[in-house]
């Protein structure tokens, strides 16, 4: 049942009996599981057994790590920079993602949630800091072929297959976004040419987010 590999399942009473059996049955299909029970000792055993038969590891550590990097860090850095930005009438450009809005990837739930938070933070910060003369914007790129994405995959062949597959989904030219495309957007938003632009999430994706796929 391949369909279960993309789903997230909450199983209550998962420490024993039907609950434990149900959890392990879903685990065999690679399902992401959230297991709940008052019996912590046996619940831990069920968790281990589920991982052994194929369940993905969707842990709260993953959530914390992603939010610390994508949301907490920009928030704290902004707070620290405000006094200096106010003096210079500087601006902030956050790096968000196409995954924050119309396009979402079921296999990247936590990442998509974090980038949605970045978008809302950008807009609210823009309102709050406008009175200080500080602009806040974000750039939302589509998939890019960077060094880091190779670490997600098993081989160079897998990487090339992913690159070609994503390129076919981009309406404008049917090609992937380049790093320079994103840099150009950042430079524009940071420049005086964008002096009346704030609270904007600028999609650099060749209209990819408009396709809904």
Residue 67 catalytic?
no
Q: How far apart are the first and last CA of the chain?
A: 22
| C-alpha span between 208 and 213 (Å, rounded) | 8
Name the active-site residue from 67, 84, 103, 111.
111
Per DSSP, the three-state class of 36 is: strand
Which helix H or strand E contains 35, and what residues bound it? strand 32-36
Q: 3-state SS of the chain: helix, strand, coil percent to 5?
A: 60, 15, 30
Burial of 129 per CB tally in 10 Å (0-12, 13-18, 19+)? buried
Contact call for residues 163 and 142 (beta carbons, < 8 A): no
Residues with a catalytic annotation lie at: 111
């Amino acid at each position: 049942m391949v369909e279960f590999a993309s789903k997230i399942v909450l199983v209550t009473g998962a420490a024993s009996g039907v609950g434990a059996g149900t959890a392990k049955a879903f685990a065999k299909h690679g399902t992401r599981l959230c297991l709940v029970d008052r019996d912590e000792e046996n619940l831990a055993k069920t968790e281990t057994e589920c991982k052994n038969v194929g369940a993905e590891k969707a842990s709260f550590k993953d959530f914390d790590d992603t939010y610390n990097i994508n949301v907490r860090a920009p928030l704290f850095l902004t707070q620290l920079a405000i006094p200096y930005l106010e003096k210079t009438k500087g601006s902030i450009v956050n790096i968000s993602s196409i995954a924050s809005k119309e396009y979402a990837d079921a296999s990247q739930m936590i990442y998509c949630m974090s980038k949605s938070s970045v978008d809302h933070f950008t807009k609210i910060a823009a309102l709050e800091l406008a009175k200080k003369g500080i602009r806040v914007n974000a750039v939302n790129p589509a998939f890019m072929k960077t060094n880091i994405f190779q670490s997600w995959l098993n081989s160079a062949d897998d990487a090339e297959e992913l690159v070609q597959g994503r390129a076919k989904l981009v309406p404008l030219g049917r090609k992937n976004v380049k790093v320079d495309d994103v840099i150009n957007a950042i430079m524009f938003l940071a420049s005086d040419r964008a002096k009346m632009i704030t609270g904007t999430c600028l999609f650099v994706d060749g209209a990819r987010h408009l396709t809904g796929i």
